[in-house]
Amino acid sequence: MHSDHPEVRPTKNKHVAERFEGLLGKLMVVAIVLLAIGMVYAIATGDATPSWMR
């Protein structure tokens, strides 16, 4: 049988945990980048404690 109308499937709402799982990878990348920036700063200045924390 042939239908003129394609089958329309309702969109499934993502569960909160599935959204968090997708966001978790991005958050990990941001955290690694921030730690890398801090490490480069510590190496470049020779002091691990920033002046605003003293």
The model's pTM: 0.56
Q: Does 25 reside within a domain?
A: yes
Residues 1-53: tens digit of each pLDDT: 556 667 777 666 777 778 888 889 999 999 999 999 988 888 888 876 767 77
Q: Does 32 reside within a domain?
A: yes
Contact 21, 27 (CB under 8 A): no
pLDDT at position 8 is 72
Could you tell me the residue range of the domain that residue 30 belongs to? 16-45
State the amino acid at position 36 in one-letter form: A
Q: Does 50 reside within a domain?
A: no
Q: Does 53 reside within a domain?
A: no
Q: In the chain, how many domains are there?
A: 1
Dist. CA 50–CA 42, nearest whole Å:
8
Dist. CA 50–CA 54, nearest whole Å:
7
